[in-house]
């Protein structure tokens, strides 16, 4: 017989969505049990956002070392010490993990380490340290996260790897084929190219970073081409053969590539199998948990957050959903999260950052004659010139209405997306933003200049 404990909320999964639910709920005075089979922090902290961005920072420093002579700083890149890079990466993850553990403990969240399963609409059963515990929740929050997908018939193993194994490599490959030109694939392609590898990306859709505005996609492809990153788009993967020293990758158009590794980066799937969700009557679709706008499932008292909910699979989305659900359960009636206002960033070189509707999506929603756009080139921005980056800010606006999309490409533009989110979420008009003062010289000025131009008073751009 399992030991039984009762809580206001039982959270299944300690990733961004799950731990945010737990911390906010505890802050609001609710009793919380947080169930996690591995480490609190989930994919983002341990196998995703944080370690990949640490690698990207190391890659940026490698590029800076190569390019220093262009600004009179004569540096050379002697070698990539991947062991030391991995130590640096692990140090970043370790410090953040220690801090998160402290937060969970200080909020008096009961952390239950073990594999949890939904065994009733109000109960999770956990095998923890040889004991079976039954955690009863007045509310249940499902946040079991995601896993690296593969394609049917494509077996992971050996020199065919996913991002999980890519993060643990203790050697720098000389050549890589990346299957998938989305965020994950392009970020690893960027890292490996900066580390000196020959990289080829294969993407079945017509463009790299295919969820972005088409103008951004094309500029991104030009930038990758200039960096020497090869890619084939609009073509399907046909197969791969492994041998002792590498892989032979075949495409359906007859092309073939030889490389040290094949990285499979075709997206992430919802980690919901064998967790009891369907047995308890929870509505599912292709493994995803279906919810309403308030993140309630079809079963009363059961909520879902993060990557298992259809939509953008982003850590900050899960984090925001966790806060929302905690406040919803506490009776605060928070405003629903609008998916279109969630910022998106690809942290490659160059970076891509966007929020809101692409031009194509806006025209589909409002009509061709109801949408106007403007592009402000970073060539007119002083800080971008100092950094030596190319790119632009693109604004998508409803005619005589608010801006519904902001799309950016260039070095460090991910740091600009906060203001872009406020603009789109608060339905700002061009004149609203044009009247604001942006510090000089910053890349943030590019946002201000774009809005000056859209408001009909361009300063460093042609009318």
Contact yes or no for 201/229 (Cβ under 8 A): yes
Q: Write down the pLDDT at residue 463.
A: 56
Q: For residue 60, is pLDDT > 60? A: yes
- pLDDT digit string (tens) for 128-177? 777 899 999 999 999 999 999 999 999 999 999 999 999 999 999 999 99
Contact yes or no for 17/5 (Cβ under 8 A): no
Q: Write down the pLDDT at residue 12.
A: 98
Q: Please give the Cα distance from 264 to 306 (Å, whole number).
A: 22
Query: pLDDT above 70 covers what percent of the chain?
Result: 99
Q: Write down the pLDDT at residue 3.
A: 65
The pair of structure tokens assigned to 135 is 């955690």
- pLDDT digit string (tens) for 68-111? 999 999 999 999 999 999 999 999 999 999 999 999 999 999 99
Residues 6+ apart with CB under 8 A from 311: 317, 339
Active site residue 460: no
Catalytic residue among 46, 440, 460, 462: 440
Can you tell me whether residue 130 is helix, strand or coil? coil
- pLDDT digit string (tens) for 322-344? 999 999 999 999 999 999 999 99
The pair of structure tokens assigned to 167 is 């993060």
- What would the mean pLDDT of 211-231 be, rounded to a whole number? 98
- What would the mean pLDDT of 22-28 be, rounded to a whole number? 98
| pLDDT tier, 459 (very low <50, low <70, confident <90, very high otherwise) | confident
| pLDDT tier, 182 (very low <50, low <70, confident <90, very high otherwise) | very high
**Peptide bond connecting 190 to the previous residue in cis, omega within 30 degrees of 0:** no
Q: Write down the pLDDT at residue 2.
A: 60
- pLDDT digit string (tens) for 296-323? 999 999 999 999 999 999 999 999 999 9
C-alpha dihedral, 216 to 217 to 223 to 228, nearest 10°: 170
- What would the mean pLDDT of 264-278 be, rounded to a whole number? 97
The pair of structure tokens assigned to 372 is 């106007």
Mean pLDDT of the chain: 96
Residue burial 95-105, b: 16+ Cβ < 10 Å; e: rest: eebeebeeebe
Helix or strand run (H / E) with residue 238 = strand 237-243
């Amino acid at each position: 017989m399992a030991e039984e404990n009762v809580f206001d909320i039982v959270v299944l999964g300690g990733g961004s969505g799950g731990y945010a639910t737990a911390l906010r709920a505890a802050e609001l005075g609710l009793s919380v049990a947080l169930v996690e089979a591995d480490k609190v922090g989930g994919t983002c902290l341990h196998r995703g956002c944080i370690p990949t961005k640490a690698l990207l920072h190391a890659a940026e420093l490698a590029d800076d070392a190569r390019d220093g002579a262009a600004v009179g700083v004569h540096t050379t890149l002697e070698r990539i010490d991947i062991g030391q890079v991995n130590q640096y990466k692990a140090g970043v993850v370790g410090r953040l993990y220690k801090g998160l553990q402290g937060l969970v403990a200080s909020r008096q969240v009961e952390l239950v380490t073990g594999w949890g399963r939904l065994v009733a609409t109000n109960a999770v059963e956990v095998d923890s340290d040889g004991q079976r515990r039954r955690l009863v929740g007045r509310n249940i929050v499902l946040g079991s996260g995601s896993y690296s997908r593969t394609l049917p018939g494509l077996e992971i193993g050996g020199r065919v790897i996913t991002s999980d194994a890519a993060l643990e490599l203790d050697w720098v490959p000389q050549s890589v084929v990346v299957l998938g030109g989305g965020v994950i694939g392009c970020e690893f392609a960027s890292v490996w190219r900066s580390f000196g590898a020959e990289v080829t990306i294969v993407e079945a859709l017509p463009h790299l970073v295919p969820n972005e505005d088409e103008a951004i996609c094309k500029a991104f492809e030009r930038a990758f081409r200039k960096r020497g990153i090869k890619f084939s788009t609009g073509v399907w993967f046909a197969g791969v053969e492994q041998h002792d020293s590498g892989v032979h990758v075949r495409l359906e158009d007859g092309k073939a590539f030889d490389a040290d590794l094949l990285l499979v980066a075709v997206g992430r799937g919802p980690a919901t199998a064998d967790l009891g969700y369907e047995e308890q009557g929870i509505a599912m679709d292709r493994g995803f948990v279906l919810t309403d706008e308030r993140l309630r499932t079809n079963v009363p008292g059961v909520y879902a957050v993060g990557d298992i909910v259809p939509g953008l699979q982003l850590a900050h989305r899960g984090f925001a959903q966790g806060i929302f659900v905690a406040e919803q359960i506490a009776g605060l009636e928070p405003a629903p999260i609008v998916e279109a206002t969630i910022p998106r960033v690809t942290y490659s070189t160059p970076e891509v950052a966007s929020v809101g509707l692409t031009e194509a999506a806006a025209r589909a929603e409002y009509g061709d004659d109801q949408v106007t756009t403007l592009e402000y080139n970073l060539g007119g921005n002083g800080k971008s010139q100092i950094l030596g980056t190319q790119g632009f800010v693109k604004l998508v606006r409803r005619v005589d209405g608010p801006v519904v999309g902001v799309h950016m490409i260039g070095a460090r533009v991910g740091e600009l997306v906060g203001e872009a989110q406020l603009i789109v979420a608060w339905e700002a008009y061009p004149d609203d933003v044009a009247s604001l003062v942006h510090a000089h010289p910053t890349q943030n000025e590019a946002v201000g200049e774009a809005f000056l131009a859209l408001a009909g008073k361009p300063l460093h751009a042609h009318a």
